[in-house]
Amino acid sequence: MRPRFSLRMLFLATTVVAAGCYWLMLPTIKAKQFVRAVALENYGLADSFFRDPDDQFLFDWNEKHWRFRAIAEMDPWSVREFARCRRSVTLRVTFGDAGPMRSGAWVVVATAFGLQKPEPTWSGGGMGGGGIL
């Protein structure tokens, strides 16, 4: 007996696979949009990617400090992150006023629903000197 072929089932299977692939790629898409917004120094847009409004800080720090620089880089892709539907971004910020510059680094995890709360990767102490990054 030959198996039956149904265009309706083929269409349904294709739709489910496409939706699943999009769901798995959505964190990478959001992470790239965040990195691009930081690179363009559009900190209001970059802050809008955070799920919780209390986690937004880039725009405020840019307005508060007259020397401010942020750099975001996507971390290397891993199968574990792909399976968990996540993508990590390293965010480095240097800021200051008339005194010494301060710096900090955070890991921001992008999910399908947006960016989670930034987790510090180091104490973010201060390094003297006038240069920005």
Of 69, 64, 56, nearest in space to 108 by CA: 56
Q: Helix, strand, or coil here: 111?
A: strand
Asked if 93 contacts 37 with a C-beta cutoff of 8 angstroms, the reply is: no
Helix (H) or strand (E) holding 101: strand 101-111
Question: What is the distance between the alpha carbons of residues 59 and 121, in angstroms, rounded to a whole number?
Answer: 21
Q: Is the pTM of this model over 0.85?
A: no
Domains observed in the chain? 7-127 (3.10.450)
pLDDT score, position 78: 87
The string of pLDDT tens digits covering residues 64-95 is 888 899 999 999 988 898 889 999 999 999 98
Predicted confidence band at 4 (pLDDT cuts at 50, 70, 90)?
Answer: confident
Burial class (CB in 10 A: 0-12, 13-18, 19+), 31: buried
The string of pLDDT tens digits covering residues 20-46 is 999 989 999 999 999 999 999 999 999
pLDDT score, position 28: 92
